[in-house]
Structure 1
Amino acid sequence: MEFHVTDEDLKGISESEDKLVFFANVSARVSEIEDERKRIRLENNRSFSGEPRLPQAFVDKIREISNGAASEEERLVIEKTLFATDVSHIHNRVSIPVRKVKNSFLTEEESNFLRGKNGKGKPKFLDVIVIEPSLEQTEAKLSNWNSCYVIKGTWKKIVRKNGLKSGTVLQFWAFRVQNQLGIAIVERI
């Protein structure tokens, strides 16, 4: 990680000893940031000990959405620690790296569709049902951007309403209601 100090940063620091203290503090902060990034990367790569289950409240919500009809088996897609770009209102999307997907969740037809481009050369998307961590139901768009699936459209609202922050660990579960793809987002505590 590079860190640049300008003359403006050093204004008001007169003694050489004060400058040494300043640089020691900057160095310590840079180390803290690097350690946090390593922790998040390691957490994203950890494996499960045993097969997780979708919490019952989410199973009940899926049943409610489907008017009591049984849904196809819920599948854990990924457990992911959110990064700053995942919760940024400017980006308005969360990425799901294809190589980290634990269980395939798209039909062959959906996969082929998402590989295509629309008339403007932009990635095609599927409308999906979303069950937020708060158990509210909404809709979002699922796209395929090269090596990542991306949930977008209403993502920044989901982030804001559920108080999601960088470092939050989420599980993304796929389910189907009358053949329509849904994503349940479960916050790990």
Structure 2
Amino acid sequence: MCKLRQLTDEELVERIRGGDSTCMDILIERYKRQVRNQARALYLMGGDNDDLIQEGMLGLFKAIRDYRPEKEASFEAFARLCISRQLYSAVQAAGRQKHAPLNSYVELSDQLDTQEDGPQGKSPEELLIDRENIEGLRKEIWKVLSPMEKKILQFYLEGESYTEIAAGLNRSPKSVDNALQRIRRKLKKFLAN
């Protein structure tokens, strides 16, 4: 077990694909904090932080499944990207209310026992206020971004890779990466205020 902990992420992924479940536990332990930190920075309408952590872990599993060492990217960078994409997809899906009927489903016996107004005990007015607050927050964030940053963020949230974004906007992947770093800094600064 001690020797396994000394393996690189890439070596652990290779062993996981060979069927070594102990290596999976080690890799999950290594990235648990990363998932929590990324999940903490987001808000999931109708959910809580644990839901986001679960989504982040799904992103980690996808990274393990899809990682290709021949692409010359570290597993850490790839995992961070997969986790981010999974989290942003979950936040976007929650905002679309596509699954609202499923999310607000309540057992008939539960309904008889409790007299909640709506999902998670919120009244329709509270849900509307939440939605308006999120939309207002989105508009305020949009104000601090340049037109190019807005385009890059939109593509990124749609799941485009750096190279796809760069090709679509006729930019270098490095300039896309720099823009995403600026966006992250601006969002952190905005959310801190």
Q: TM-score range by the shorter chain?
A: under 0.3
TM-score of the pair, normalised by structure 2: 0.27
Task: Judging by fraction of residues, say which structure has more strand.
Answer: 1
Which protein shows a greater Rg? 1
TM-score of the pair, normalised by structure 1: 0.27
